[in-house]
Chain A
Amino acid sequence: MELQKFTYDNKLSNMFLWATVIWGIVGMLVGLTAAFELIFPHMSGNIPWLVYSRLRPLHTNAAIFAFVGNGIFTAVYYSTPRLLKTPMYSKLLGNIHFWGWQLIIVSAALTLPFGFTQSKEYAELIWPIDVMVVLIWVVFGLNLIMTLVNRRVKHIYVTIWFYIATWVTIAVLYITNNLALPTSFTHSYPIYAGIQDALVQWWYGHNAVAFFLTTPVLGMMYYFIPKAANRPIYSYKLSIIHFWALIFLYIWAGPHHLLYSALPDWAQALGVVFSVMLIAPSWGGMINGLLTLRGAWDKVREDPVLKMFVVAVTAYGMATFEGPMLSLKTVNALSHFSDWTIAHVHIGTLGWNSMMNFGVIYWLVPRLFKTKLWSTKLANVHFWIATLGMLFFSIPLYFAGFTQALMWKQFTAEGFLAYPNFLETVTQILPMYYLRAFGGSLYIIGALMFVYNVVKTAKSGSFVRFETDEAPAKETPKAKEGWHRRLEGRPLQFTVAALVVILIGGLIEIVPMYLVKTNIPTITAVMPYTPLELEGRDIYIREGCYLCHSQMIRPFRSETERYGEYTKAGETVYDHPFLFGSKRTGPDLAREGVKTLPNYKPDLWHYNHMLNPQKVSPESIMPSYPWLAENEIDYSHVPGRINAMIKLGVPYVEGYADQAVADMNAQAGQIAAGLQANGVQVDKNKEIIALIAYLQRLGTDVYKNK
């Protein structure tokens, strides 16, 4: 057999590696800032783009798409050519991918803090950036597929399976969830509304976790653990079963983010059972990773890379057991909207994703720079400090989650809510927020050690851009193969098979929500928002209010007593986008405008509270939004937005766009007059008037006749 010589180009992998290092620190620092802002609400100094609710999406997007994303691409561009024994197909496509991805990240950083957002979690990026993401994703896919076509190895390894599944599924998810009608270059409304929008969003949101934070990272695990430990994979058979089971089952699990919401029972039930069934395939990945280390445990004791991998895979196992438990309705009734979710997520990100990135980079830098790790000792210190930081981050938040959720549900013997004032439940858990910030600080200190160590390592060697390798040309095997082995030899069919498998669950859950009327019973009292309320809603989105305030009252006595009648699907039909939220750092606002309910506050209260929450509640941890009383309402975009709503099926009368501004002025005038009568000097054209109009509308439609 004649060996062919070829050359790997390490340049792209190296570029992605340093991008991972830089964005990792940036993403974590933004997260730490947000954590401190929850303790010191005035820390942002009234600078709009530093306020918690604008930084939080920047943190999540940076952590997911910049830190983990660049880490994945580092691994993909390093492992793919080596596993397929051919260079990546195109350096040009690779460069476009790299610079395009960094441009996307910079664009995100320049839009999210300034209030340009779609508000759907992890899909906040505005539509022009979405278009960029899709184009870059296509470039990446083309490069990957063409490399597969050029391969010298007949069969593709499990790492490549996971890369393929990642690529097709993210493409499907990202495009479907971001379908929107633009009203300007920076603003759009999603084509879905209310509960349908929520279902699509969490189908996406959950599977962003599955196919961006899990499958590509499993691909990394399957390459770098056997490489670093120099051990064979524990079980090929397990790889096959857990791979297909994982991608098939994962896609169904989205509705577990909407348990006890207005989503129909059948869809919730599917979310529950598919989440529970996911335990086994997830653990299949964990045991295949950990058992690959059999015979190498003595190395684990010394090698910080393997230690990182062990903690990563263990954290993966913990998070993927906890996730299904959180999907049980009885557990979810307690955990949802509380800090429990935040703790759970960070076991995944700080444990699984970050440790995996750290391990891969510690392993890769000495190889790319033909040298030894500058300090194994420092890497070991990083390992311990990161592990401790993760625990100091999560354990207090678990405690905070239980405590607060139990307080929300507590009744007195006389049948009244034991803690009617939401704020009481916040001040109770504030010490845990201090501990979380401490844990986060530890974690970042560890990450800085990591940066120092890898920079020192790189400086101690010199970059090896090209490496030559040799392999025989691809041959078609003569012996008869099993069906899966045949599929491994046909990457294009493999890709199509993965696509089919991931489409099933999504279609079965999402399509009936559109076709079957009974899933969203009509409520005739529910009317579209007035233009002023709609403007207020867009401001609510811009400021990120939904990140701390839910709008989804669950059918529990403890919630209907506190917030009013539970939310119905029919109430959300004009909500482009839905704003259910996923966390209650403050109280639910679904019925904020209903005057007979405990949460009701007059306009004057909202005005004072928005300008300075501590003026009315000294212990509040909500930041001030004083610019709302300074910024003028932008009337110019109103007709365009009304017309967009009409196109999306919201029943404003034909031609209403022409009248909208006049109606807005009238409604704003009334609210401003009410405030002025109470001695507030406020102009009716200020944004705060629109926001108050929106808040006072919330949840009132179904109460109109009561």
Chain B
Amino acid sequence: MATDHTKNNHNEDYEIDTLTNDRLIKDHEYDGIRELDNDLPPWWKWLFYLCIAFAIVYMIRLWVFHSDDLIQNREYELAMASAAAAQPEKNNAAFEVRILTDPASLAAGKETWTKICSVCHLMDGGGLVGPNMTDNYWIHGNTVQDLYNTVTNGVIEKGMIPYKDQLSEQARLDVISYILVDLQGTTPAIPKAPQGTEY
């Protein structure tokens, strides 16, 4: 840097700051504030060089080598492909759909109900946006297989979304069992009026 303090090499041209023994720059005084003639700390310079090198390498990787991790569409496709390869088949045709009554399944079903189903059917099953699940009226059938189909594929035109990509087969069956075993016949706080056919 060709600034004027380079001429401070001559002894008579600078003063010494007594507390640090560093050189003060002559004629640099602003409202009593002086400036020292210290060089840039070497570690700081190297930090800067390193960051610049990082930047250059980064841009070369993008523009010259088109690295996968810097092109987000490709990064996404790779991540999806590797996830698909690692996962077991989600919907197994051999899965047996039958009511479960063991406490563990019912407890798991209740958990799914609380986290997901209650958003539309309310916690006590009384129904709000979705129908009441405690009464004996059903819109899409009342067998365990009917319910399983409804949960799996949804009823899109009515706002019931398909859960085949969000809940495992077991989780779907658990929550259906919870509905049929535990919720049916209970009395919710504010039951929604019956919808569908009485069974």
Contacts and interface: CB of A to CB of B under 8 A. Distances in A.
Interface of A: 79, 82-83, 85, 153, 155, 157, 159, 223, 226-227, 231-241, 245, 260, 265-266, 268-270, 272-274, 276-277, 279-281, 283-284, 287, 291, 294-296, 329, 411-412, 414-417, 420-421, 423-424, 477, 479-485, 555-557, 560-561, 566, 595-598, 600-602, 604-605, 608, 615-618, 679
Contacts of B47: 279-280, 283
B48 A232 contact: no
Contact of A605 (B41, B116, B129): B129
A424 B115 contact: yes
Contact of B162 (A157, A277, A596): A596
A632 to B, nearest CB: 25
B120 A273 contact: no
A566 B79 CA distance: 14
Nearest to B28: A236
B59 A608 contact: no
B3 A485 contact: yes
Interface in B10-30: 17, 19-20, 24-25, 27-28, 30
Contact of A602 (B4, B31, B158): B158
Interface stretch (B101-109, B136-144, B163-171): B163-171
Contact of B3 (A232, A240, A416): A240
B168 A414 contact: yes
Contact of B156 (A276, A420, A421, A596): A596
Contacts of A260: 72
A480 B171 CA distance: 82
Contacts of A414: 87-88, 90, 168
A20 to B, nearest CB: 21
A237 B129 CA distance: 68
A295 B20 contact: yes
A226 B154 CA distance: 70
A162 to B, nearest CB: 13
Q: Which 6 A-B pairs have the closest CB atoms?
A: A602-B159, A295-B19, A482-B3, A280-B48, A273-B55, A555-B76
A566 B74 CA distance: 13
Contacts of B62: 265-266, 269
Contacts of B41: 238, 287
B182 interface: no
B64 interface: no
A512 B36 CA distance: 44
Contact of A237 (B17, B38, B69, B168): B38
A420 B76 CA distance: 20
B129 A616 contact: yes
Contact of A485 (B4, B58, B162): B4
A561 B17 CA distance: 64
Given A237-B3, A416-B167, A287 B34 contact: no
B38 A234 contact: yes
A480 B63 CA distance: 45
B51 A280 contact: yes
A159 B31 CA distance: 12
B17 to A, nearest CB: 6
Contacts of A296: 19
A274 B51 CA distance: 9
Interface of B: 1-6, 17, 19-20, 24-25, 27-28, 30-41, 44, 47-48, 51-52, 54-55, 58-59, 62-63, 69-73, 75-76, 79-80, 83, 86-88, 90, 115-116, 118-120, 122-123, 128-129, 154, 156-159, 161-162, 165-168, 171, 193
9 contacts: A226-B34, A232-B34, A235-B37, A266-B63, A414-B87, A414-B168, A480-B4, A555-B76, A595-B157
A482 B2 contact: yes
Contacts of A235: 35-40
Interface centre among B34, B51, B156, B165, by most chain A C-beta atoms within 10 angstroms, is B51
A598 B115 CA distance: 13
A556 B119 CA distance: 26
Contacts of A600: 159, 161
Contacts of B70: 265, 269, 329
Contacts of B116: 420-421
A477 B25 CA distance: 15
Contact of A232 (B24, B69, B128, B166): B24
A420 B48 contact: no
A287 B44 contact: yes
A482 B1 contact: yes
Contact of A601 (B40, B55, B159): B159
Contact of A236 (B32, B35, B88, B128): B35
A604 B69 CA distance: 43
A273 B30 CA distance: 36
A421 B115 contact: yes
Contacts of B72: 260, 265, 268, 555
A485 B5 CA distance: 9
B99 to A, nearest CB: 22
B87 A415 contact: yes
B4 A420 contact: no
Contacts of A272: 58
B129 A601 contact: yes
B199 to A, nearest CB: 23
Nearest to B51: A277
A269 B1 contact: no
A268 B72 CA distance: 10
Contacts of B27: 477
A518 to B, nearest CB: 13
A39 to B, nearest CB: 21
Contact of A233 (B35, B69, B87): B35
Contact of B36 (A236, A284, A485): A236
A283 B50 CA distance: 14
Contacts of B55: 273-274, 276-277
A618 B40 contact: no
Nearest to A296: B19
Given A237-B3, A601-B120, A232 B59 contact: no
A368 to B, nearest CB: 16
Contacts of B87: 414-415
B54 A273 contact: yes
B33 A223 contact: yes
Nearest to A281: B48
Contacts of A617: 118-119
A617 B129 CA distance: 12
Nearest to B61: A269
B68 to A, nearest CB: 11
B38 A227 contact: no
A295 B33 CA distance: 15
A296 B119 CA distance: 62
Contact of B161 (A287, A415, A595): A595
Contacts of B128: 604-605, 608, 615-616
Contacts of A266: 62-63
Interface centre among A277, A411, A480, by most chain B C-beta atoms within 10 angstroms, is A277
B76 to A, nearest CB: 4
Interface centre among A232, A291, A597, A679, by most chain B C-beta atoms within 10 angstroms, is A232
B161 A616 contact: no
B40 A241 contact: yes
Contacts of B59: 269-270, 273
A560 to B, nearest CB: 8
A277 B166 contact: no
B71 A265 contact: yes
Contact of A283 (B2, B44, B63, B80): B44
Contacts of B17: 232, 295
A485 B88 CA distance: 70
A491 to B, nearest CB: 14
A296 B71 CA distance: 51
